[in-house]
Structures are given as structure tokens and as C-alpha cells.
Amino acid sequence: MNLSQIHNKHLVAALVFISYILFAMAWVGGTASMSQIMLVMKVESLASASFISGAVTLAKIIGTFIAAWLALKLGVKKAFFISGILIFIGVLTPLAPNYELLLLSRFLMGLGGAFMIVYFNPIVMSWFEPEERPTINGLNAVAFNVGTGIVLWQMTNFNNLTGSWQNTLIIFSFVSLVLSFIWLLVKNKSSDDSPSSNLSSTKMAVKKAKQLQRYYSYIDGLKDKFNWVYALTYSGILAFYICLFTFYPKAGISQSTLVIASGIVGTLAGIFYSKKFSTRVPVIRWSGLIITMTVFGLSFGTSDLLQTLCAITLGFFIFFPVTALVTIPHELPKMTPQKVTVIFSLFYSISYSVATLVLWGFGRLVDINQGDFTLAFVLITVVSSTFFIGSFFLPETAQQKRGKENETMKNKEPKCEV
């Protein structure tokens, strides 16, 4: 056994979690410093600035789509390392001598983040027992919010400590690079190396043969109705969440930071709920209904108090069901790390594509109506209902889990011989 390798699953989970927090800090830190970056580069055109956001969106769509392909070619361990290196390239954001290099650095950094979010799932599936996965999935889901919150609340203090916003962003990038090289010390887990695999060599060979038969390609994924329902269910709240930070402040609604803070609380509550209750669909359905109602209240509320209450409630219920949502594929029958990688690759790619179209439609409606947000708010409220509507088409994995448990119990019962 190689003593230099990392075998502890909790340390592996911590590496993944902190790596994505660092991505969020570098990413949001760059966005928060964009006015200074544009000033340094003498970029005055808002259209040029919008290209940066467009490059980011394109990176997320392309990155999440090809993430599974990269993992299949190189293995999840190497693919995760590459995602970390791409995130490190964000170091060019504060150092870029021209606009084109700035655009490229943001694109490649966004690509790395898109890869990383897909690889959470095969890593969790390979390292953790089924009953542990909801907790780890939930923590991974809140990582971006944690990183965003740290930057929004502490960026000024970081800049004072390091001397400038450039130094802060450079430090974020180099810490990400260090974590990427530490990741190389992690033991390479194959799909057969999952913690519940205590099989003899003969049984292992049979299992491997079965897994080869269950190879799940992109074509299989695109033909699978579940993947479309799954992605479209999430696309509505993703579109709203991006819209909240992109357009709502321009409409005079500034409660976005409250959504982030209550979202962290909602995720932790969701982890606790998902460990205590095995049903997944009810928490998604009723949270979806509350989300749509509070999006309406936030968008059309006539008092600051109402909008504040809606923002706090929204943040909680956007993230409360996320643990249940991301755990569903892990609990489907005959799931493998390879298949779950393809599923989440399509999940994020489809949902980001839909969200991008919704954001374009939102902005277009505001332009057509000479800056009036009314119709745009109607659009985003309707779109946010996909979480509630989609819940009626998602499978309830608790029934499948109970069936497996009953079958296991039957196999354990002593048989009477006549």
C-alpha cells in the first residue's frame, strides 16, 4: 500500500468541498472586481462587459456537457485534477494585459468549475455508502454559496489584508492550485472500488462484466426521459437564481444577499431532513410551490418587509430540497459511477442552456417595454414553477430502496430444509 496516498474518505470529501469553495471565491471575487478590471483595461463598453458574462455561460454549458466524456477518457481522478488546473488559470484575470486574455481566462476558469460540479457525483458514489451520500451531496451543493458568501461579506477585508484586489484574486488561484496537487495524492477509486464492495475475485469479475454491459453513453442519456425531466425540473430555479443577481438589483430589489445566507441554512436543514426521511419527491414538490409563491412576492411585493421575508423564505426553500434532488440519481436501480457522471453532465448542461434562454428572454422583455420589469417578472415567476411541476414526473426512490431492503432481509432469513 502506498503510504503517500490519501485513503480517508472524509479527507477526500473535504478536498472536493474546499476546492469548489475556492472556485466560488475566485469566480465571484473576479465578478465583484469587474468594475476595477474594466477601469484598468479602459473598457467602457457595457457590451464588452456582457461578453465576459456570455463567455462564462458558454463555458458552463459546454463544460458540463463534455465533462462526462473527459472523465471516461482519463478517469475521474485525472479529470478532477484538470478541472482544478483550469480554475487556476483564473489567475490571469487580475494579471491580463488585454481584454482578450481576460475573456479567455474567465472562460477557462468557468470551464473548470463546470467540470468540477459534475465530478462531485461519481466521487461521492465511489467513496461513500448509500446512507452517507445525501449528507455529502448536500454539503457539495452548498459549497458555491459558502464561497460566494465569504467573498460578498469579506472581500474588502481580504483586499485590506493582501494590499489589493489583484493580490486577493491571485492568492485564491494559487490556493486552488495547491489543492489540485494535493488531489493527486488521493487513491484512485475505480467503479468497482466502492465502499460496499466486499466481494470475492470471482464475484468481482462477474460484477465488472455486468458493468460493461450497462455502459451508458451520451446517446443513451439523451434518449432517457428521466434526464430531461430531471434537468427541466431544476432549470426554472436555476434561471431565477441567476436572474436574481443579474437583473433584480437593476429593478431596485436588493435582497439577494439574504437569499445566499438563508440558502446556507436551507441546505443544512435539507441534509438533516434527507437523512431522517427517505422520501425525495414530497420535499421537492412542496418546496417548489413555496418557491413560486415567494418569487411572485419578491417580484411584485409593494413593501420592503414583504420582499425581505420572501427573499429569506426563497433562499431557504431553494436549497432545502437540493440534497433530495441531487441524491435521486444515486438511488436509481443499477446505477454506476460512469452512468451517474453522464446523467449529471446532461443535467447541468440542459438546465444551464434553458436558464440562458430564459435570461435572454427576461432582458428582451425589459428592453421591449422601455425598462418596465412587469412582464419579465411574470416570465420568471412562471418559469420558477418548473420545480413544482417537474416533481410530479420524478421517480420516488424511497419505494425502490424499501424494495431492496425487503429483498435483502428475505435473503438473510434462514431457510427450512424438509
pLDDT tens per residue across span 112-129: 999 999 999 999 999 999
Fold match, 1-184 / 215-396: yes
Spell out the CATH class of 1-184: mainly alpha
Q: Is the pLDDT of residue 263 over 90?
A: no
Q: What pLDDT does 310 receive? A: 94
Residue 49 pLDDT level (bands cut at 50, 70, 90): low
pLDDT tens digit string along 144-176?
Answer: 888 988 988 888 899 999 998 889 999 999 999
Q: Is the pLDDT of residue 53 over 80?
A: no
Q: Where are the domains of the chain?
A: 1-184, 215-396
Q: Which CATH number fits domain 215-396: 1.20.1300.10, 1.25.40.10, 1.20.1250.20, 1.10.150.120?
A: 1.20.1250.20
Query: ∠ CA 145-291-143 to the nearest 5 degrees?
Result: 15
The torsion of the CA quartet 147, 150, 155, 157, rounded to 10 degrees, works out to -140
Residue 198 pLDDT level (bands cut at 50, 70, 90): very low
Residue 205 pLDDT level (bands cut at 50, 70, 90): very low
Q: Which residue has the cell 480517508?
A: 8
Tell me what the mean pLDDT of segment 2-21 comes to.
Answer: 85
Question: Which residue would you say has higher pLDDT here, 208 or 340?
Answer: 340
Closest CA relative to residue 204, chosen from 220, 193, 188, 217: 193
Q: For residue 15, how far is the Cα from the chain centroid? A: 16
Query: Rounded mean pLDDT of the chain?
Result: 84
Q: What pLDDT does 199 receive? A: 42
